[in-house]
Amino acid sequence: MTFRDFSLLVRDTKVDGFVEGLLRGELLASRCTGCGALAYPPRSDCPRCYNSTFEWVQITGAGRLVSFTSVFVTPRHFTPDLGNTAPFSAYRYCPAPVGIIELENGLRVMGWILGAAEAELEVGMRLSPQPEVLPDGRATVVLKPAGI
Amino acid sequence: MKQVAVVGVGQGRFGIRCDASLRELAFEAVKACLADAQIDLGEVESMVASVASDELSFALQPSAQISDYLGFVPKPSFRVEGACASGSMAVRTGWMTVASGLADLVLVVGAEKMTEVPTATATDVLGRAGDPIWEYPFGMTFPGYYAMIARAHMARYGTTEAQLAAVAVKNHHYGALNPYAHLRKEITLEKALTAFMVASPLKLYDCCLISDGAAAILLASEAIAERFAKEPIWLSGLGLGTGTLSLSDRNDLTTLPAAAEAARQAYSMAAIGPKDVDVAVVHDCFTIAEIVAYEDLGLCPRGEGGRFVEAGETALGGAVPVNLDGGLKSKGHPIGTTGVAMAVEIVKQLRGEADPGRQVDGAAIGLSHNVGGTGQHAAVHVFSLDKGAG
């Protein structure tokens, strides 16, 4: 497992534990051990106090949908007819809606929206973020209607 | 403060330029620019190049491709980058070179060859205009980001798909009158509303084109600005803002805070306000981007952008004509070229040299608004017929 199993492009970061978390079924944010600032996506370096140690915090609960779209004209990794067998193109996420939710603590999470058709989505509705492991072993983040 | 003037402008035809390489496109624009100022390249002291993407130009140093081909060796040249706002970064860097006294005459060249690679590759490269680590894995594309901005604007202000389409109809109307434009054809509201979906709710005609093309301007110091063939146009206000890399990190998706900051700086430096702007070019990479630009620039109140364009306020004869060159939408968007091409258009408007049917009569103050990525960078420049007090 490398970070690229989530990112598709970048292999090395100081927050590789995020992907390990997804594979364990946990969605992780970071908390700066200096000033306590929460960050999602997680980051190893705090832009507020410039401390570079952090601890992992699990994200739970639901958030409010800020915006969403479905991408029909897709980039390379998501274009099945380019013959790539990779990730999400061969699976069910293309073109699934993608959204950003805002949690009660103010953190914002991007993810694939599952369990609701695009026509059923509305800005402001509640969705909960969850880790998802794909059949090929890669990991991503999904947003599901709260309660599912 | 030192005054800097635009004393020459030139551009080549935008489009799918299967007939030319990056360096050849740049040559077309520079040749036209030198002819406009009626000088030889030998008089130019320094050069700034804008090419947004190495991956589209197959080069680590696209500026060397251009400067060598122009015959500019061994004088100073380098390249600047700020995604789709690279061109304005080059204009800004050119201004700095002149205002600092380092050179009296500087050539600013923007060039991009986007169609060398397949569309899916270009989509991939441009999709990384967001966060390549935390947003790209969700299949996000450039249209995808702006689609989210559109949805948020529609949800908060009631902006409609027809209002988005009205931007495209307007810009195609003017693009059809511009001989340098990529797609010179009018479209109807119905055609725009029934086109295929690119990233919901943005449809084909809500999105700009993938284009090749180049543009160039000459910047001169106050000491020599009057020596050229055309009257100088003064670059009187510069603003540059920076936004978060991820769209997810913005508290409000209905504005580009970097653009609002750039506008504030540029208005302050030029000592003008939005009401003083006679003609503007704004970064309509997507129709929603033009609507948000009106609001970030203060051309209309927040949330009113959709109604503003629908009422014809940004057409010729309206409150403030916007994108009379066809905009990125119809003229095309060779990404590193755009900011320089915007300067070319505003200079032509202020000189009264725009094509029939798209010239603002008596325009004295023009503005360009150029956004990089999804608002990670935004530059606003003010151009004036009259030299400021300095």
Per-residue model confidence as pLDDT tens digits over A39-69:
999 999 999 999 999 999 999 999 999 999 9
Question: Burial of B382 by CB count in 10 Å (0-12 exposed, 13-18 middle, 19+ buried)?
Answer: buried
What does the mean pLDDT of chain B come to? 96
Pairs across A and B, CB distance < 8 A: 112
Per the domain annotation, does B133 fall within a domain? no
pLDDT tier at A8 (50, 70, 90 boundaries)?
confident
| Contact (CB, 8 A) for B279 and B361 | no
- pLDDT the model gives residue A85: 47
Phi and psi, residue A119, nearest 5°: -65, -20
The model's pTM is: 0.96
The residue in chain A having the minimum alpha-carbon distance to the alpha carbon of residue B136 is A7
Residue B84 appears among annotated catalytic residues: yes
How far apart are the C-alpha atoms of B313 and B108, rounded to whole Å?
Answer: 32
Radius of gyration of chain A (CA): 16
Cβ–Cβ of A74/B151 closer than 8 Å? no
- CB of B158 less than 8 A from some CB of A: no
Closest Cα of chain A to B307: distance in Å? 21
Q: What is the DSSP letter of A79?
A: -
What is the separation of C-alpha B70 from the centre of its chain, rounded to a whole number of angstroms?
A: 23
Residue B24 in any domain: the answer is yes
Whole-number Å distance between alpha carbons of B166 and B287 = 8
CA of A41 to nearest chain B CA: how many angstroms apart?
Answer: 7
Give the per-residue pLDDT at B25.
97
pLDDT in the model for residue B258? 98
Cβ separation A110–B151 shorter than 8 A: no
User: Does B152 sit within 8 Å of A123, measured CB to CB?
Assistant: yes
Domain around B35? 4-117+214-227
pLDDT in tens, B276-292: 999 999 999 999 999 99
Tell which of B200, B207, B245, B255 to mutate to test the A interface (max A CBs under 10 Å).
B200
Which listed residue (B172, B182, B283, B333) is catalytic? B333
Domain segments of chain A: what residues? 4-58, 63-145
pLDDT for position A19: 96
Within 8 A of A118 by CB-CB distance, chain B residues are 200
Residue B41 lies in a domain: yes
| Cross-chain residue pair B148–A69, CB shorter than 8 Å | yes
Structural domains counted in chain B: 1
Closest-CA residue to B335 (of B144, B47, B117)? B117
Q: Is the ipTM of this complex over 0.90?
A: yes
Q: What whole-number percentage of chain A has pLDDT above 70?
A: 88
Contact A10 B249 (CB under 8 A): no
B128 contacts in A (CB within 8 Å)?
Answer: 9
Please write down the HEC assignment for all residues of chain B.
CCCEEEEEEEECCCECCCCCCHHHHHHHHHHHHHHHHCCCHHHCCEEEEECCCHHHHCCCCHHHHHHHHHCCCCCCEEEECECECHHHHHHHHHHHHHHCCCCCEEEEEEEECCCCCCHHHHHHHHHCCCCCCCCHHHCCCHHHHHHHHHHHHHHHHCCCHHHHHHHHHHHHHHHCCCCCCCCCCCCCHHHHHHCCEEECCEEHHHECCCCEEEEEEEEEECCCHHHCCCCCEEEEEEEEEECCCCHHHCCCCCCCHHHHHHHHHHHHHHCCCHHHCCEEECCCCEHHHHHHHHHHCCCCCCCCHHHHHHCCCCCCCCCCCECCCCHHHHHCCCCCCHHHHHHHHHHHHHHCCCCCCCCCCCCCEEEEEEEECCCCEEEEEEEECCCCCC
In a domain, B331, yes or no: no
Mean pLDDT, rounded, for B121-133: 83
Is B253's CB within 8 Å of A67's CB?
yes
B235 in a domain, yes or no? no
Distance CA B373, CA B52 (A): 11
Beta bridge pairs of residue B47: B77, B107
CATH number at residue B71: 3.40.47.10
Average pLDDT over residues A125-131: 97
CA distance A2 to B46: 46
B377 is annotated as an active-site residue = no
Look at residue A132 and tell me whether its pLDDT is greater than 60: yes
Find, in chain A, the residue whose alpha carbon is nearest to that of B250. A108
